[in-house]
Amino acid sequence: MDNFRLFLGVALSASVGERLGDLAKRLADRLPYRSWTHPADYHITLHFLGDLPPDRIPAIQAAAREAADRTAPFALALGRPGTFGPPDAPRVLWCGLTEPAAVAAGGSQGCGSGDHGDAAGTLPALAALYAALAKPLAASGFALEARPYRAHVTLARRGGPGGGPDAVSAAWHDAVQALAPLPADALSWTAESFALFRTHFGRRPAYERLAEFPFGLRQP
């Protein structure tokens, strides 16, 4: 049997995904990225596991359940956009994550780039979940990425000239203004689980949820 390309990630709520899709449509009219993420595929990657035989899935599920049982639901919000790669030809356009209070204070208006901005993966709840998964996955023999964790939602890939930080910042600002006024909670949600995803190449949407892992702890 062929290998599956697998990863663990947190999905956006349906309403936040729809709102981000509306913003992305406006960005696509302004920015020279050649491949845009289908709104149904928006997610925050926790661990990319690579191409694996299906018989490795039970071990992934066991590690995921172990981490989920020790995690409580947490609040997230869409943050600032930014890019990975050279400013004159960025590889990836992303939307960062922040605390819901930062959105209420106007924190979604700016733009980051390269190694800066909201994709630093510093939100405590996401960082804790990433770490809680890493230990049992590594113990089960899965090869994990060595580079620092950078939490983000990928919006588009394969950018070109005119798709750098300044252009992204201006386009994002105009897209947000076009949808204004946004309800205070339009860009925030409570994550109550994460999932194991499989990538289907040549299909849109491309990601299939193979298993869902609800968080086991509850806030007092």
What proportion of the chain, given as a percentage, has pLDDT over 90? 75
pLDDT at position 110, please?
A: 44
* Alpha carbon distance 113, 88 (integer Å): 11
For residue 111, pLDDT over 90 is answered with no
* Alpha carbon distance 87, 85 (integer Å): 6
Which residues are the active-site residues? 43, 152
Mean pLDDT of 102-115: 47
Residue 117 is assigned to a structural domain of this protein: yes
pTM listed for this prediction:
0.90
Task: Look at the alpha carbons of 20, 22, 23, 25 in this order and tell me if their dihedral is positive or negative.
Answer: positive
Reported as a pLDDT band with limits 50, 70 and 90, residue 185 is confident
Q: What is the domain-level CATH number for residue 100? A: 3.90.1140.10
Residue 22 is assigned to a structural domain of this protein: yes
Structural domain that includes position 75: 10-214
The structural domain count of the chain equals 1
Residue 156 is assigned to a structural domain of this protein: yes
Residue 1 is assigned to a structural domain of this protein: no
SS3 217: coil
* β-bridge partners, 159: 33
CB contact at 8 A, 54 and 196: no
User: Largest alpha-carbon pair distance within the chain?
Assistant: 51
Residue 47 is assigned to a structural domain of this protein: yes
For residue 83, pLDDT over 60 is answered with yes
Residue 4 is assigned to a structural domain of this protein: no
Residue 220 is assigned to a structural domain of this protein: no
For residue 113, pLDDT over 90 is answered with no
* Alpha carbon distance 107, 34 (integer Å): 27
Residue 5 is assigned to a structural domain of this protein: no
What proportion of the chain, given as a percentage, has pLDDT over 70? 90
Reported as a pLDDT band with limits 50, 70 and 90, residue 135 is very high
pLDDT at position 180, please?
A: 86
